[in-house]
Amino acid sequence: MKYDTPLQNLSVRGQFSWRQKQNPEQDYSVDAQDYTFSASYQPVFIPRLSFDGSFTYEKVNNRKDIVIVPFTAVGDLVLNYSAYIYSGGLSYEGIYKGLGARLNGSYAKTLQSNPQTYGDLVLSLWYKNKWLIPILALERSYLVDRTVRADGFTANLLTFSLRKEF
């Protein structure tokens, strides 16, 4: 669903996604629902600048039948959770000729059976030309696991890639 706002170059959108999967060979099923609301804006007075952001509420129900061999017990392993996911960024095209930049980030927090927090922040620079577009990105990511603290991490990534537009 998209809503045309009274403000020029402001777009607001809502989306619902429902995925159900089953694997009878492994006695596994998953039911996931996502409710996403997003907005993007490109100011008329600075046409090369754009902003975007979104909020997603995700609800996932996982179930797997397991057999514990030493005791030959059968049971269900249930990993249900819900999460709040925020993301947003700003881009600026044409800083100097084909040079562009984007700063974006995301933050996710899971609730219920396995509470975790994940976040990342990315700064990207690129140079558009008619051959290849080189992209340099610096990313800072982290995961905080409140149940199994040793599963948490932090990372700094520097990536270089080439893109070709057709």
Tens-digit pLDDT string for the chain (166 aa): 666 678 888 899 999 999 888 777 767 778 889 999 999 999 989 989 999 999 999 998 876 655 555 555 555 566 678 899 999 999 999 899 899 999 999 999 998 777 889 999 999 999 999 899 999 999 999 999 877 878 889 999 999 999 998 8
| 52: helix, strand or coil | strand
Which residue is associated with the tokens 């619902």? 16
**Residue 58: its pLDDT value, please?**
92
Give the chain's domain count: 1
Note down the domain range covering 90.
Answer: 2-163
Q: In this structure, what token pair is assigned to residue 81?
A: 């959770």
Q: φ and ψ at 132, to 5 degrees? A: -125, 150
**Residue 77: its pLDDT value, please?**
60
**Residue 75: its pLDDT value, please?**
56
Cβ-based neighbours of 72, under 8 Å, separated by 6 or more: none
**Residue 5: its pLDDT value, please?**
76
Q: In this structure, what token pair is assigned to residue 108?
A: 């996710």
